[in-house]
């Protein structure tokens, strides 16, 4: 089940990183956050390094990854041009 509130934090803009999913329109990609988490980086460290991020942003990245691999619909992703 997709958490719609969390996925609402993930957007895409064709002018930012070629349309890759990003967090709340910022130049912080879901891919980068997932990579940091996969490398064992602590959430607290990521949040300290990127002060504009909130804990729910990290959870949104995980929810996005879950939706992507479980083939859930990602219709909630906002794409701007």
Q: What domains sit in the chain, N to C, each tagged with a CATH number?
A: 4-80 (1.10.10.10)
Round the average pLDDT of the chain to a whole number and report it: 88
12 φ, ψ to 5°? -140, 140
CA dist 16 → 12, 46, 56, 71, 81 (Å): 8, 21, 21, 24, 10
Residue 2 clears pLDDT 60, i.e. is over it: no
Is the pTM higher than 0.85? The answer reads no
Residue 46: both structure tokens together: 């990521």
Question: Could you give the CA distance from residue 2 to residue 6 in angstroms, rounded to a whole number?
Answer: 8
Of 7-11, 32-36, 38-42, 43-47, the one with minimum mean pLDDT is 7-11
Give the mean model confidence (pLDDT) for residues 55-59: 97
Residue 25: both structure tokens together: 């329109």
Length of the chain as a residue count: 81
């Amino acid at each position: 089940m997709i958490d719609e509130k969390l996925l609402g934090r993930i957007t895409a803009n064709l002018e930012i990183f070629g349309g890759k999913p990003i967090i709340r329109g910022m130049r912080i990609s879901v891919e980068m956050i997932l990579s940091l988490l996969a490398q064992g980086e602590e959430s607290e460290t990521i949040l300290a390094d990127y002060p504009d991020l909130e804990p729910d942003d990290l959870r949104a990245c995980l929810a996005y990854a879950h939706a992507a691999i479980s083939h859930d619909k990602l219709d909630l992703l906002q794409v701007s041009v």
